Amino acid sequence: MGVHEGHRKRMLSKFLEAGTDNMHPHEVLEMLLFYAIPRRDTNEIAHELISTFGSLRAVFDAPASEIAKVHGMGEYSATLLKMVPELVRYYFMEDENPVILSSIEEMAEYLMPRFIGRTRETVFLLCMDNKGKVIACVKVGEGSVNSTSVSIRHIVEIAVKFNASSVVLAHNHPGGVALPSREDIETTRNLLDLCRSINIPLIDHIVFSDNDYVSLYQTNILNRYC
């Protein structure tokens, strides 16, 4: 048994016994890279990744092309790391049981996982029936809610398509703050008017950033600009 092989087996045993609770960030990376770099010491590579990007999270959020440039990395190992936040998002989103949301807090908790690992502004529309049961949660575009890539009429078309009784708009501010911009508010007002015209209430527009969120309904922001 080689030195590296023995080390890897000890690391795997440590993980299986206690998970990542007692692992340093570089150890998490080191172990992940076992599966993409089978014959090299990944400890040094893990340290280099964190040194280059600043933190474990920053490594996962970095572009694959930049990750691949780090000494010892390559296309396959960079792709493996980029899969991690995507898998986390799928893990939280995968639920076969009917979901009923009865408060803004529950809606925010349901929506937040959809933004895990996203480094671009992304817009979702949550569609619910008259009992608050989730019918669909659809990505309606990438970019700010007032950008040309996100059409208000397209959002309304999705609500009609799923026969929604009410909808919630959600988008993120990657690397920023959850406070909505003046443009976000103006776009929301326009969407409110359009939704009213087809009798599908827009319950809220929730802006996310990391683990924080701001509800335009709860903060009464919309009324300040009416």
Look at residue 2 and tell me whether its pLDDT is greater than 80. no
Residue 202 Cα distances to 58, 60, 166, angstroms:
35, 34, 6
pTM (2 decimals)? 0.73
Domains of the chain with CATH codes:
3-92 (1.10.150.20), 97-224 (3.40.140.10)
pLDDT value of residue 1: 43
pLDDT value of residue 95: 65
Fill in the amino acid letter for 92: F
Average pLDDT, the chain: 88
Look at residue 41 and tell me whether its pLDDT is greater than 80. yes
Give the lowest-confidence range in 3-17, 37-51, 204-218.
Answer: 3-17
pLDDT value of residue 119: 85
